[in-house]
Chains A and B, each alone.
Chain A
Amino acid sequence: MQYIAPEKISDAVEALSQAKGSVHLLAGGSDLLVRMKGGFIEPDVVVDVKRIKSMGKIKKAGGGFSVGGAVSCAEMGDNDALKKAWPGVVEAAQLIGSDQIQGRCTVVGNMCNASPAADSVPALIAADAQAVIQGPKGERRISVAKFAKGPGQTSLKAKELVEAVELPKRPAKSGDAYLRFIPRTEMDIAVVSAAVSLTLGAKGVVREARVALGAVAPTAKLVPAAAKALIGSKLDDAALEKLAAACAAACAPIDDKRGTIKFRTRVASVLGRRAALIAYERAGGKL
């Protein structure tokens, strides 16, 4: 196995282009190394992105933020400006694993691993985040909502890598929130999760909304009907009922020992509702 640790994006793209056999990118390694040790993959080439300086930073970009693919979730938690603008994204990132994992794991790795239960992804989708992709044909952007194609499958083409995720400029009176349900109080994989991002207009009326669910379908998904239920409301009971119904309708979960279809569906609407209430409060709304 060959291990390459380039220092520039262009070198990384070059290394990906040259590499033969099975090639894997390495960020924090908290998914990749687990899969290697478990014998599920046997890479011929590993390209480590952690030495690429431009990927190791959280930058202000276009009024929003750009979180590099080598930024650990712990670093996100230490960034006050990011936390203030996107508390839901940061709380999702900080739910991943434990302190030890936090020091290694990245939201880009979380997204590229493409688990339907990945914690940061619903929050990124609700935030309308964009993935910045670099490849032999240069740079392209794709909405995080469209990034995953199925469990373990992404829309990355061969020889491409994700440089960063970009979070858009935040209007005043905005708030987001992420909640997950796990069988234990910590360190487990989401059985269901929900993220809500809101922007309020005059008098606390919701002007914009995005709602995303995790672990209820092959990929985390945006639920436009749920967002629609909230827009124009002050999160009155009727709006929340509609939101809950839309969340339940969007679910196509699996049935396993961790949670039945019925349970996941029902809890998706409970979490959607609770996340909406938290996001509303964070946006300055009063119930």
Chain B
Amino acid sequence: MSNESIPARFGSGQSVIRVEDRKLLEGSGSFTDDFQPDGQATLAFVRAPHAHARLRAIDTRAALEMPGVVAVYTGADLQAAGVKPLPGVADGWKRADGSPANAPARHPLAVDKVYFSGQPVCAVVADTPAIAAAACEAVLIDYDTLQSIADPVSALAGNAVRIVDGSSDNLCAEMRHGDAAAADAAFSQAAHIARLQLVNQRLAPSALEPRSVLAWMEDDRLTIRLSSQMPTGVRNTLAEPVLGMDADKIRVVVGDVGGGFGMKTGLYPEDAVVAFAARDTGRAVKWIATRSEELLSAVHGRDIQGSAEFALDADGRVLAYRIKTDADVGALVNPTGVAIQLMIGPWVATSIYDIPVIDFHYRAVLTNKAATGAYRGAGRPEAIYLTERLMDEAARVTGIDPAEIRRRNMITASQMPYRNPMAQTYDSGDFASILDQTLALADWHGFEARRTRSAGQHKWRGRGMAAFLEWTGGMMFEERVTMEVQADGMVDVMTALMPMGQGIATCFAQVAIDVLGIPIENIRISHGDTDRANGFGSAGSRSIFTGGSAVKVAAVELIEKSRQLAADQLECATADVEYGDGQFRIAGTDRTMGLFELAAGQPDRRIDIDSTSSVDDSTWPNGCHICEVEIDPDTGAVQVVSYVNVNDVGHVVNPVIVVGQLEGGAVQGIGQALQEHVIYDEAGQLQTGSFMDYTMPRALEGCVYQTQLDQSIPCKNNPLGVKGVGELGTIGATPAVANAVIDALLRGGADAGRVAQLQIPFTADKVWQVLRG
């Protein structure tokens, strides 16, 4: 046994082995589909085969007559039963003229019209999956197909068919930020202008575990077990707004979640249908999405295109930043999808640079595709991709080294706290120091020798950088934590944060250990039950920063309360009671009492605390990522050969988990840069409906990462000093890799005009076309 104290071994800062893993590795996790209640029925959806069509008639009689079929529902059936559409975009968002945002109602099952291929139209409930599938085939639906809108450009053409009947156009919502006149003035005086036209393609978040929902009634209460990042949000949206039930008549339970990446935030139409079916039939009803259903109808990510321009002075300082983009948000618009593009992205668009003037114009446009929503990074990858691609372009236009031009524009540590042009305040950061550390680690100046070596092997080498920050927190800073010391030697911690694989339970336990000083085996973290804890849930890299902080506050309050109880037991003044490593002691004596012993002596044999606390503001994790690639000029194939990154995520609770987040996140960003792409054809049919065609990255697509953490700049907005890390890796990787590919192509002698046309993903085929014309 080591002599080190328990906090020194298990507390924050240590690479403690994840408490979650044993159960998962032994195959005893509890995912939604692991629950098989007796008499469970299967629900399956009949989905729209067309991207845009009117529903003329639905004939469910043959399906209903099949033995084993319990119920068949149409949108009209649900409407008649009082089920209302999911909350839409009209409440929070506006068009240029101030009128409410424009989008079709989000009925859980289609009513009158279908708006994207894969939209749920009917639901069949049956005794077995096989019967449900057969009954879906027996539902006859008559459609009148309409012309479909494939992209924002055709959506905004004057004669385009209207997605919302009777509306004046297909614009959903619009926002402008900044000072257009000041920007015009800056551009007219600029010594240089850097300008790019960029597409940030549509992606499929693709969690390993698909959406899974099981619902049943107990007396008049509905319980829903599902795979979700936000149990409370699911309950609250489902309750009054959709099913017309009181929230306290609904319990949402979440077990293990096999990945979320943002696409399991909030209520899906399918979830509402399953809940309704359970209430209506009295059976336990389950729906497990197939992979194809996920690719068709779970939210997609990104899908925004437009122009970005810097006005620069002769020294390469950015005088003004202009952005004009159109986001393709699909038809049945998810309000989060609009928030991401119109608001969250803009918050970080000036990133780590001191840019005085902005002129941003964002539009959300309707098309006949699945809705976009949160996907790892949610708005920040879009914004940082523009800014970091443009920084490299500015370096080329001015002839300044890419690292140097970034340094010249950086906000300095002495400018903290810094308020950016979107009125966001950065509490801390030393971006130049992070840049310098990364340049050294990546041997930035030794690149030429490596390039020569690659050239000897007939490979074109390039390097790319992304220096950036991101925003976390979800603008929800308050968290409630309950803690109970049990007489049997366990401390129960209950929070509303919802892990989806990131190791939150381990990190929360470590934070608690810092205060409680007890072994990690004595701490039990629970989550995922709206009867026990409610809150925003996990999204936007917020869990450690808001939830971890709240755990710390609760632990401190618990010990405070316990000291008083201990003082009563030890018959001394509270002020004389010290606490450490699970023991209370009267200062200067050897009279002690254990924490659990104290609990055992309480009337109900436990000590509990119900603590609600809040952090002060958002955090600003940041980093510098440098990537080198090799291109095979004969085939266009790109290989990432080195990936070096230094990150400031503030205090680090568990280094192994944090590095895992950064490197796993980078693989996701590399996937976007090189291969992932949700493709629809002109008729709105999804062309990438399986993993055969939607090319997820594999371990081999990455390389050996060099990842460092600089912990010298703690966050000032929370008691832990943490900044959050869930999305940082993904945000940095896409521009770093893309910049490296562009660099390799230009150094290799590819035509600059054609290179400028190239858009991610940089597949071999596309790179090769740039080389061959």
Contacts A257-B688, A259-B765 hold; do A186 and B679 have CB atoms under 8 A apart?
no
B637 at the interface (CB under 8 A from A): yes
Contact of A257 among B634, B693, B700 (CB under 8 A): B693
Whether A184 contacts B698 by the Cβ 8 Å rule is yes
Across-interface contacts of A263 in B (CB, < 8 A): 636, 764-765, 768-769
B675 at the interface (CB under 8 A from A): yes
CB nearest to A188 among chain B residues? B695
Contacts A260-B765, A263-B765 hold; do A184 and B692 have CB atoms under 8 A apart?
no
Whether B772 contacts A266 by the Cβ 8 Å rule is yes
Contact of A181 among B637, B695, B698 (CB under 8 A): B637
Give CA–CA (A188, B687) in the complex, Å. 17
Residues A116-155 near B (CB distance < 8 A): none
Contacts A183-B695, A184-B698, A186-B700 supplied; 13 other A-B pairs, CB < 8 Å? A181-B764, A184-B675, A186-B698, A187-B698, A188-B695, A257-B679, A258-B693, A260-B765, A262-B769, A263-B764, A263-B769, A266-B772, A270-B634
Q: Mark B741-773, 1 if CB is under 8 A from A, else 0.
A: 000000000000000000000011100110010
Contact of A189 among B636, B692, B765, B772 (CB under 8 A): B692
Q: Which 9 pairs between the two chains have the least Cβ-Cβ distance?
A: A185-B700, A270-B634, A263-B765, A183-B695, A267-B635, A259-B765, A263-B768, A186-B700, A257-B687
B701 at the interface (CB under 8 A from A): yes
Across-interface contacts of A262 in B (CB, < 8 A): 769, 772
B697 at the interface (CB under 8 A from A): yes
Residues A157-201 near B (CB distance < 8 A): 181, 183-189
Across-interface contacts of A183 in B (CB, < 8 A): 675, 695, 763-764
Q: How far is the CB of B560 from chain A (nearest CB, A)?
A: 55
Whether B635 contacts A270 by the Cβ 8 Å rule is yes
Whether A181 contacts B635 by the Cβ 8 Å rule is yes
* Residue with the highest number of chain A CB atoms closer than 10 Å, among B634, B692, B769: B634
Give CA–CA (A95, B110) in the complex, Å. 45
Would you mind naming 5 contact pairs between A and B with Cβ atoms under 8 Å apart?
A183-B763, A184-B675, A185-B698, A260-B769, A262-B769
Q: How far is the CB of A202 from chain B (nearest CB, A)?
A: 30
Q: How far is the CB of A181 from chain B (nearest CB, A)?
A: 6
Chain A interface size, under 10 / 10 to 19 / 20 to 34 / 35 or more: 10 to 19
Contacts A260-B765, A263-B765, A266-B772 hold; do A184 and B635 have CB atoms under 8 A apart?
no
Residues A230-287 near B (CB distance < 8 A): 257-260, 262-263, 266-267, 270
Across-interface contacts of B764 in A (CB, < 8 A): 181, 183, 263
Q: How far is the CB of B632 from chain A (nearest CB, A)?
A: 9
Give CA–CA (A266, B771) in the complex, Å. 12
Q: Mark B686-714, 1 if CB is under 8 A from A, else 0.
A: 01100011010110110000000000000
Across-interface contacts of A257 in B (CB, < 8 A): 679, 687-688, 693
Across-interface contacts of B636 in A (CB, < 8 A): 263
CB nearest to A189 among chain B residues? B692
Give CA–CA (A187, B764) in the complex, Å. 16
Chain B facing A: main interface SS = loop
Chain B residues within CB distance 8 Å of chain A: 634-637, 675, 679, 687-688, 692-693, 695, 697-698, 700-701, 763-765, 768-769, 772
Q: How far is the CB of A276 from chain B (nearest CB, A)?
A: 14
CB nearest to A267 among chain B residues? B635
Give CA–CA (A188, B700) in the complex, Å. 13
Across-interface contacts of B763 in A (CB, < 8 A): 183
Across-interface contacts of A260 in B (CB, < 8 A): 765, 769
Across-interface contacts of A270 in B (CB, < 8 A): 634-635
CB nearest to B632 among chain A residues? A270
Give CA–CA (A270, B765) in the complex, Å. 14
Across-interface contacts of B698 in A (CB, < 8 A): 184-187
CB nearest to A270 among chain B residues? B634
Q: How far is the CB of A144 from chain B (nearest CB, A)?
A: 26
Contacts A262-B772, A270-B634 hold; do A185 and B693 have CB atoms under 8 A apart?
no
Whether A266 contacts B693 by the Cβ 8 Å rule is no
Whether A185 contacts B701 by the Cβ 8 Å rule is yes
Across-interface contacts of A186 in B (CB, < 8 A): 698, 700
CB nearest to A259 among chain B residues? B765
Across-interface contacts of A258 in B (CB, < 8 A): 693, 765
Across-interface contacts of B687 in A (CB, < 8 A): 257
Contacts A183-B763, A184-B695 hold; do A266 and B675 have CB atoms under 8 A apart?
no
Give CA–CA (A186, B700) in the complex, Å. 8
Q: How far is the CB of B757 from chain A (nearest CB, A)?
A: 15
* Residue with the highest number of chain A CB atoms closer than 10 Å, among B634, B636, B701, B765: B765
Across-interface contacts of B693 in A (CB, < 8 A): 257-258
Across-interface contacts of B765 in A (CB, < 8 A): 258-260, 263
Give CA–CA (A257, B688) in the complex, Å. 9
Q: How far is the CB of A65 from chain B (nearest CB, A)?
A: 31
Whether A184 contacts B701 by the Cβ 8 Å rule is yes
Across-interface contacts of B769 in A (CB, < 8 A): 260, 262-263
Whether B679 contacts A266 by the Cβ 8 Å rule is no
Across-interface contacts of A266 in B (CB, < 8 A): 768, 772
Give CA–CA (A187, B697) in the complex, Å. 11
Give CA–CA (A260, B772) in the complex, Å. 13
Q: How far is the CB of B619 from chain A (nearest CB, A)?
A: 35
Across-interface contacts of A267 in B (CB, < 8 A): 634-635, 768
Whether B697 contacts A184 by the Cβ 8 Å rule is yes
Give CA–CA (A184, B694) in the complex, Å. 11
Q: How far is the CB of A112 from chain B (nearest CB, A)?
A: 21
Q: How far is the CB of B473 from chain A (nearest CB, A)?
A: 35
Give CA–CA (A263, B632) in the complex, Å. 14
Give CA–CA (A258, B687) in the complex, Å. 11
Give CA–CA (A186, B144) in the complex, Å. 43
Q: How far is the CB of B633 from chain A (nearest CB, A)?
A: 10
Q: How far is the CB of B670 from chain A (nearest CB, A)?
A: 12
CB nearest to A183 among chain B residues? B695
Give CA–CA (A186, B695) in the complex, Å. 11
CB nearest to A187 among chain B residues? B698
Across-interface contacts of B692 in A (CB, < 8 A): 189
Give CA–CA (A188, B693) in the complex, Å. 9
CB nearest to A39 among chain B residues? B133
Give CA–CA (A53, B478) in the complex, Å. 69
CB nearest to B765 among chain A residues? A263
Give CA–CA (A88, B539) in the complex, Å. 50
Q: How far is the CB of B686 from chain A (nearest CB, A)?
A: 11
Give CA–CA (A262, B698) in the complex, Å. 27
Q: How far is the CB of B372 from chain A (nearest CB, A)?
A: 20
Give CA–CA (A259, B763) in the complex, Å. 10
Give CA–CA (A181, B765) in the complex, Å. 11
Q: How far is the CB of A50 from chain B (nearest CB, A)?
A: 26
Give CA–CA (A260, B692) in the complex, Å. 17
Give CA–CA (A267, B700) in the complex, Å. 22
Give CA–CA (A196, B49) in the complex, Å. 45
CB nearest to A181 among chain B residues? B635
Across-interface contacts of A187 in B (CB, < 8 A): 698
Give CA–CA (A189, B693) in the complex, Å. 10
Give CA–CA (A186, B697) in the complex, Å. 10
Give CA–CA (A188, B764) in the complex, Å. 14
Give CA–CA (A267, B767) in the complex, Å. 13
CB nearest to B696 among chain A residues? A184
Q: How far is the CB of A99 from chain B (nearest CB, A)?
A: 14
Give CA–CA (A186, B687) in the complex, Å. 21
Across-interface contacts of B637 in A (CB, < 8 A): 181
Q: How far is the CB of B636 from chain A (nearest CB, A)?
A: 8
Across-interface contacts of A181 in B (CB, < 8 A): 635, 637, 764
Across-interface contacts of B635 in A (CB, < 8 A): 181, 267, 270
Give CA–CA (A168, B695) in the complex, Å. 38
Give CA–CA (A167, B443) in the complex, Å. 52
Q: How far is the CB of A255 from chain B (nearest CB, A)?
A: 11
Q: How far is the CB of A223 from chain B (nearest CB, A)?
A: 19
Across-interface contacts of B772 in A (CB, < 8 A): 262, 266
Give CA–CA (A266, B764) in the complex, Å. 12
Q: How far is the CB of B697 from chain A (nearest CB, A)?
A: 7
Q: How far is the CB of B756 from chain A (nearest CB, A)?
A: 20
Give CA–CA (A183, B766) in the complex, Å. 11
CB nearest to A274 among chain B residues? B634
